[in-house]
Homo-oligomer: A and B are copies of this chain.
Amino acid sequence: MPPAPLRADAARNRERVLAAARAAVIAGDASLPLNEIARRAGVGVGTVYRHFPTRQALLEAVTDEPLALLLAEVRAAAADPDPGGGFARLVRAAGRIEIDNVGFAEVLTGDDPAAAATAAKRAELIAVAERVLERARAAGVVRADVTAGDVQRLVCGIGHAARLGGADPHERAELYTELLLAGLRP
C-alpha cells in the first residue's frame, strides 16, 4: 500500500521542517538538534518527531534530493562513451555534491539507511558507480587496486579536507578533486 497521502497541513509542516533542516545542513551544521530545528521551522518538537522519528530519518530526507542528483550523474557517467571521462565526471559530481551537503557523506557511507527509498537509491548508486569504475579500470585509466568503496571514502575525505580551511571550501574542493583524479590514475 502506498504511504497514505498526508493531510494538507501535515504536509506543510513536514516541508517546513525539511526546509529548516536543509538550511542548517547547507550552513554547514549537520548536528541538527531537533529542538532547534523545530523552533526554526515554527513547529512543535513533537511534530518533528512525528515526521522524522530519528535524526537519521531527517538526515536522509534532507539528503534525498542531492542523492537523486548524484544518482542521475552516475547514470550519465555510465552512459558516457569515454570510460575515463565518465569516471572523472562521477568523481567531480560526487565532490561537488558532497561539499554542498554536510551530512551527505554520513548517509552515503554510514549504517544501513532507515528509509527503504534511501536504501534503494544508495544501492543503485553504488552498483552503477561500481560499473563505471570497472569500465575505467578495464580501459586502464584508473588504478586496479582501488575499489568503489575507496573512491566513495576518498571523495568524503576530500570534502572533509576542503572544509578544514575555513571560508569558502569550493575552490579547495575543486583542486583536491583534481588531485584525487590524478592520484587515481595508474
- Taking Cβ atoms with an 8 Å cutoff, the residues of A that contact B are 105, 109, 143, 145-146, 149-150, 153-154, 156-162, 164-165, 172, 175-176, 178-185
Contact = CB atoms under 8 A, between A and B. Distances in A.
Given A157-B158, A158-B161, A178-B183, 18 more contacts: A105-B164, A109-B164, A109-B165, A145-B175, A146-B179, A153-B161, A153-B162, A153-B164, A153-B165, A153-B176, A154-B179, A156-B164, A157-B164, A160-B160, A160-B161, A179-B183, A182-B185, A183-B183
A182 B183 CA distance: 5
B184 A179 contact: yes
Contacts of A164: 105, 109, 153, 156-157
Contacts of A178: 183
Contact of A180 (B145, B149, B179): B179
A157 B105 CA distance: 13
Contacts of A184: 179, 183
